[in-house]
Amino acid sequence: MWRRSFSNGVSLTRTLKGKKWDALVIGGGHNGLIAAAYLARGGLSVAVLERRHVIGGAAVTEELIPGFKFSRCSYLQSLLRPSVIRELELKKHGLKLLKPIATSFTPCLDGLYLLLGFDDQQNNSEISKFSKRDADTYPRDFMDILLSPTTKILNKWFESDVLKATVAADAITGSMASIHAPGSGYVLLHHVMGETDGDRNLWSHVEGGMGSVSLAISKAATKAGAHILVNTEVSQIMIGDSGEVDGVLLVDGTRVHSSFVLSNATPYKTFMGLVPRDVLPDDFLRAIKYSDYHSGVTKINVAVDKLPQFHCFKSSQLEVGPHHTATVHIGCESMEEIGSACQDAWNGLPSRRPVMEMTIPSSLDKTISPPGKHVVSLFTQYTPYKPSDGSWEDPTYRESYGQKCFSLIDEYAPGFSSSVIGYDLLTPPDLEREFGLTGGNIFHGAMGLDSLFLMRPVKGWSGYRTPVRGLYLCGSGSHPGGGVMGAPGRNAAHVVLQDFKKQSR
Ligand SMILES: Cc1cc2nc3c(=O)[nH]c(=O)nc-3n(C[C@H](O)[C@H](O)[C@H](O)COP(=O)(O)OP(=O)(O)OC[C@H]3O[C@@H](n4cnc5c(N)ncnc54)[C@H](O)[C@@H]3O)c2cc1C
């Protein structure tokens, strides 16, 4: 379904050549598709050129094991701007959000657990199991956390380890920064700014997996007249004699012409890989080159033959409990545990006890696994890009990391390892190679305070335009950053439409 909907390399030359396009978009991630949809709606002829066989970038669904459809990278939705959903009519194009019954589940080895959801009173009594004081303090203004170290704020607010660790887990997502570092809380803020159908800070599953978000956007784009091509890799952005963009060169040697090119690739890939270096100012190039693309994320997509059974939360083997629909925090009982997992990676080693976010989308979505079987997504940290005690190229080393994660889950949900039918393991180098995510960084560049707002991707260039006239950034490396949010794509399209109108006058 994902592959059939789009033109591939065979008809490509005919579609692309012999015509000057109003705009070309390099990359069919959700942001590139959104940019294309708005440009086409604005009346421009536009083509999206995606190097993979499938659209969506990191918002993708792939059936790697027959019958099991994995959201290989991103797995929960909350950040997609409501304006994008509304304006592109994504629900009409098939987007269906599935709200969890509970939001967060943190099992503890001593048999306790913390289950948070939508009911304030219930949350109060859950937190009271650990601290009455914390239960009363819980609803806080998260703005406090913007500039401070996560640990400082959470220690000030709360006294129970498990609540602090559960909240802190959102602050470390995709980051290699210590939770003791000033500004480490921004990622947490980034995670609580979203919504699902008006419910603030609610992360939902997407029916059919995250690829359904991209598919709905692509339908809106093609309806508006955009052309989307897969298996179409750009090798260079062509610059004319006057220093302005003239189009792109594909890996097969095809030249495609346009005065407006938007790049959904990372800023690093765009400027270090696609733009001829001699056209870029030295200081700009250096700022791009030394941007932070560290990431300690390894994603594991697992097919299992039964629902995980947590020893602290007994339920029947077959029945989906509220905790199965929530984000499950494994190995996350205290901030010290998170800190030492991070310290291992700083010492060059994959964490001995990785911090994991487990989700089970098939607990709500019957379309992604065979009856009775389930899809489990494990977002694990921390794994260095180049570990000092082995190599991610070594199958035994990779396998040992996967098994370590499964064994840790066994401590909380005995029998998990033996329920595994198969899995897909994506280390930072895999994320880079497969999805084009530089350094494996899930956000197209770290979301530290020094690379946000006016500083994203680099100081002075937060407005989607670049030092090359006619070249724009439209992906997560531009403001306001990563996540399946769509804002960079939408904003970039508006800037291009303005410039296009000016040029046509
Ligand atoms: C493991 C993981 C888990 C995540 N979890 C979540 C989550 O649960 N929720 C959430 O909101 N966010 C999550 N994120 C972050 C989010 O998925 C990304 O920030 C977002 O999807 C990036 O979208 P994008 O359109 O900007 O770029 P991408 O999705 O990276 O798309 C860029 C596209 O450009 C293509 N491309 C690159 N170079 C070329 C070239 N030369 N020619 C042609 N095409 C090219 C790539 O193949 C890719 O398809 C996660 C990310 C990862 C990796």
Q: Do 214 and 279 lie in a common domain?
A: yes
| Residues with a CB atom less than 6 Å from ligand 1 | 26-32, 49-52, 57-59, 73-76, 79, 233-234, 264-265, 269, 297, 299, 379, 431, 435-437, 442-444, 475-476, 482-484
Q: Do 453 and 345 lie in a common domain?
A: no
CA distance 436 to 265: 7
- Better pLDDT: 317 or 266: 266
Contact indicator for 425, 297 with CB cutoff of 8 Å: no
409 CA to centre of ligand 1 in angstroms: 27
Q: Do 301 and 368 lie in a common domain?
A: yes
Nearest CA to ligand 1 atom 29: 57
Residue 11 banded pLDDT, cuts 50, 70, 90: low
Which ligand 1 atom minimizes the distance to the CA of 481? 19
> Residue 220 sits in which domain range?
9-62+209-292+442-504
Average pLDDT, the chain: 94
**188-197: average pLDDT:** 80
* pTM to 2 decimal places: 0.96
Q: Do 327 and 409 lie in a common domain?
A: yes
Q: Do 419 and 447 lie in a common domain?
A: no
Q: What is the token pair recorded at 259?
A: 């005065």
* Ligand 1 mutation target, pool 484, 490, 491, most atoms within 8 A of CB: 484
Q: Do 172 and 285 lie in a common domain?
A: no
Contact indicator for 74, 206 with CB cutoff of 8 Å: no
Nearest CA to ligand 1 atom 36: 27
Position 488 in a domain? yes
Nearest CA to ligand 1 atom 10: 483
Query: Which letter does DSSP use for residue 18 in this model?
Result: T
Structural domain count of the chain: 2
Q: Do 143 and 218 lie in a common domain?
A: no
The pLDDT tens digits for 19-75 are 899 999 999 999 999 999 999 999 999 999 999 999 999 999 999 999 999 999 999
Which ligand 1 atom minimizes the distance to the CA of 233? 42
Q: Do 331 and 375 lie in a common domain?
A: yes
Position 70 in a domain? no
273, with CB counted inside 10 A (0-12, 13-18, 19+), is middle
Specify the pLDDT at position 3. 45
The pLDDT tens digits for 461-471 are 999 999 999 99
Specify the pLDDT at position 314. 83
SS3 label, residue 469: coil
